[in-house]
Amino acid sequence: MSVLARHLNILDHTLSSLWRRRLKNLSVLLVFAGVIFLIASFQLVTRALTETAEQALVAAPEITIQKMSAGRQVAVPLAYSEKLSGIFGIRRVVPRVWGYYFDEVSGANYTVLGLERDRMPASGQLDLVLDQGESPAPGRSGAALIGRSVQQGLERKGGSLLSLFRPDLSMVSFTVAGVFKEETDILTNDLIVLDIDDARDLFLVPEDVATDLCVYVANQREVPTIAKKIADALPDTRVVTRAQIRKTYQVVFGWRSGFASVCLLTALAAFVIFAWDKASGLSPEERREISILKLLGWETRDILAIRLWEGILVAGLAFVLGCTLAYIHVAFFGASLFRPVMVGWSVISPSLRLAPTVQLSQFLLIFCFSVLPYMAATVIPAWSCASVPAESALGGV
Amino acid sequence: MFLDSWSIALVICGLVVFFMMGFAARSAVRVLLYWDPDSDSGRQIKLENEIWLTSTLVECALGVQILSLTVFVLAADHFSGAIVGAMCATGSLLANDFGVPALTVKIGGVFLYGFWIVLHQLDIRSERYPLVRLKYIYLLTLLPLLVLDLSLGMMYIAGLEPDIITSCCAVVFGEAVGGGTNLFAGFSHFLSLLLLYGSTALLFILGGLLLAWRRIGLVVVFGGVWLWFFLLALVVITTLFSSYVYAMPFHKCPFCILKPEYYYIGFAIYGLLFTGAHLGMSVAVTEPLRQVVGLEEVTERFQRRATLWSLVLLALFTAVSSWHYLRYLLLGGQG
């Protein structure tokens, strides 16, 4: 009999034996699928968030300059941008004024961003991400572009004007020129975009400083060199490149998901002990079955093969089930169980739509986390089952 | 960088292999001490049962080891997103002194465990299990390699320094920026192609001769040429074929061909190469077993099959690995 035919027959026997003990096997299957679901959800959320962050960073300036004083970020003088004029390769240096605005009514922090839009390279494309309205002409004061939850807050208050308070509690109002689309929520949900002079007025920031400077570089390959030159020219600043922000995001998300995985390892360990226990506890009927098979001429290795096939089938089914549930959880329910761990828990957290891309490497990772320990836990009990001596059937009859 | 899912996966793989091989080694010690094929005592019967456990454990460990080799390369690729100057797995493997040794030990491990399984398969074909002692001595000698593998992997992960934005002042910029780092440089196109296709032809000739007319010397040469071919193929894939897969003359990387962008062609290329080389080399490795009583026929049958299959895999490997290069030439490119 060929090897294939032998294994097909064994598989046939395994399936019927799995079905006979369906309650025991189903319990293992469900617990295992649950563990895989937890692990896979974390992996898929991490992947989706890293990708979303990468997409968001495409339009970020190549280099951002922040002034540091006593280890804290402070406003950067506009005069600094003149010091950079000698560095070749810099296309443009654009100041930004931004900060957080605490809204007492909703208890939320809005992000207010003041831009000099006529000088920013991609500002013409701002209309593409607007759901309603259009971006005001650059330099026009008194108009704001707002994110969706800012709009919801405004609707609750029942006004059409966005009224904010300066630090001295005097009020300043803006008309709403446009609302950002849902797709850009991760960036724009709590965002208020103003003209830079309006933002200065709101935060009472002096004319000659900005929160940070955005540096646009023509040739991507020159970014590290230019960043180094800037760091030399302006020693009291922190120079952050886009590549570094991306790496930091990856490290942070990787670290968080790694940390979560370590926590899940306890669940995995519990499951491994459970699987070991289930696999090694032989009922008298099972003992008799194995002995009879041996009396009929089956060898230890055939019975071992049955046990291993059982393991493969249970693990395979649980893997498919767990991964499918995890995908549904992440893609359709926004990973609601774990999102606080990954994105934080502020009052307005963006209602993200996560679309995890499915990559083979992700599944390999999940496989290593779940199926390998299961396999290691069941192989020795499988062998001890297989080595039940043939004569032990006689005692039970 | 231990707190990353990929690092944890690598550690889990390492521990699973270690656990299985540890158990196998326990049986190995017992078998070496008490094995007596002429006895029919309870202990002997128990030991005969135990050799099934050991072989299952080593087979599983080999599977995990192959998986962990893949995980290692993919993990290195993943780490490249967080390390200064690394654009892909090459960069992160070179990020500290342990990356390349860890990879080499893992590749070596795959071959050495594979030879154990060949020994085992030959052994169980004979009723008296003549190779039991040899097999278990070999198993015990594999343990130090396993410890080395695990420790190199751990030291590699521990030594990785991720590049994150620190809260202090100006950042430090890495020196290496481009992704053009290359493990092997300075091979001329013509010479490497000549060597590769020359060795392929030589293997076919030797294999054909072996199938028709076998001599001990020929067997050893065949195994030796396979080893040479394996190493040469790794170099040529890196320096030459890979850039045709990427369609970028300056991108020479043995790892990026494993990515989905290139339809995972690397897995096919390396899978064929590793299996072919393993079969080819095991023809030479099993040659001394022909002297063992009870194994003459079994070994010879295995050698014939292994020779034939290694040649089939070699042909497939040549076709798959040269495909992008040939297509480039056919479409009018200049080699």
A78 belongs to a structural domain: no
A174 belongs to a structural domain: yes
A233 belongs to a structural domain: no
Q: Is the dihedral of CA B318, B324, B325, B329 positive or negative?
A: positive
A227 belongs to a structural domain: no
> Does B124 share its domain with B215?
no
| Local confidence band at A209 (pLDDT 50, 70, 90 cut-offs) | very high
> Does A264 share its domain with A323?
yes
> Does A211 share its domain with A261?
no
What are the chain B neighbours of A252 within 8 Å (beta carbons)?
Answer: 164
B281 belongs to a structural domain: yes
- Residue A308 touches chain B, beta carbons under 8 Å: yes
B184 belongs to a structural domain: no
Q: Kindly state the tokens that stand for B157.
A: 């992960």
> Does A273 share its domain with A390?
yes
| Local confidence band at A319 (pLDDT 50, 70, 90 cut-offs) | very high
pLDDT surpassing 50 at residue B29: yes
Name the residue range of residue B77's domain. 5-158
> Does B251 share its domain with B302?
yes
User: CA of B256 to nearest chain A CA: how many angstroms apart?
Assistant: 13
> Does A147 share its domain with A188?
yes
A231 belongs to a structural domain: no
Query: What residue type is assigned to position A386 of the chain?
Result: A
- Residue A280 touches chain B, beta carbons under 8 Å: no
Name the residue range of residue A129's domain. 90-217
Which residue has better confidence, A131 or B277? B277
B259 belongs to a structural domain: yes
Q: Kindly state the tokens that stand for A294.
A: 């041996």
- Residue A44 touches chain B, beta carbons under 8 Å: no
Tens of pLDDT, residues A127-184: 788 888 888 887 788 899 998 888 888 888 887 888 899 999 999 999 999 998 887 7
pLDDT in the model for residue B173: 44
> Does B57 share its domain with B141?
yes
Domain count along chain A: 2
Please calculate the CA angle A134-A139-A140 and round it to the nearest 5 degrees.
Answer: 60
Tens of pLDDT, residues B49-94: 888 888 888 888 888 988 999 999 999 888 887 776 677 788 788 8
B170 belongs to a structural domain: no
> Does A252 share its domain with A392?
yes
> Does A42 share its domain with A160?
no
pLDDT surpassing 80 at residue A355: no
User: CA of B46 to nearest chain A CA: how many angstroms apart?
Assistant: 8
Q: Kindly state the tokens that stand for A15.
A: 């399936």
What are the chain B neighbours of A383 within 8 Å (beta carbons)?
Answer: 49, 52-53, 56
> Does B142 share its domain with B200?
no
What are the chain B neighbours of A365 within 8 Å (beta carbons)?
Answer: 5-6, 9, 71, 74
Considering only CB atoms, A379 lies closest to which of B56, B67, B78, namely B56
> Does A272 share its domain with A320?
yes
Task: Decide if A383 and B53 are in contact by the 8 Å CB cutoff.
Answer: yes
Among A58-62, A118-122, B114-118, the range of highest mean pLDDT: B114-118
User: What's the rounded mean pLDDT across residues A274-278?
Assistant: 86
Neighbouring-strand partners of residue A94? A214
pLDDT surpassing 80 at residue B174: no
Segments of B162-261 assigned E as strands: none
Q: Which residue out of A35, A38, A57, A250 would a mutagenesis test of the B interface target, given it has the greatest number of B Cβ atoms within 10 Å? A: A250
> Does A360 share its domain with A253?
yes
> Does B107 share its domain with B239?
no
A140: left (phi over 0), alpha (psi -120 to 50) or beta: beta
SS percent in chain B: helix, strand, coil, step 5: 75, 0, 25
DSSP structural state of residue B72 = H
Domain count along chain B: 2
A110 belongs to a structural domain: yes
